[in-house]
Amino acid sequence: MKLKELKSIIYSRTGDMQSCIIYDIKNNVDLEYGCSVEYAYEHYGDREIVRIQSVFENGNAYLVFSIK
C-alpha cells in the first residue's frame, strides 16, 4: 500500500495536527520526525508502507510510518 492511500482515513483536523515519523526501513533512519501527515503524503506519498505503529515520546503521540 502507498502512503498516500491513507489520506481519507488519517488526517489532521483544524487545531489538532496529526504528527508522524517517517522511517526508512531500508536505510534504518528517520527521514522526518514530528511532521504532519499531510507533509508526509506530499513528500513520501508514493513510497510503499511496510508497517504503521504508534509511539508516545516526550509527551507527544506520533504515528510511525515505516516505508521502503
Q: Which three cell numbers stand for residue 45?
A: 506519498
Exposure class string for 18-37: b at 16+ Cβ within 10 A, else e? bbbbbbbeeeeeebbeebeb
Per residue in 15-35, pLDDT (tens digit) is: 889 999 999 999 999 999 999
Per residue in 30-64, pLDDT (tens digit) is: 999 999 999 999 999 999 999 999 999 989 999 99
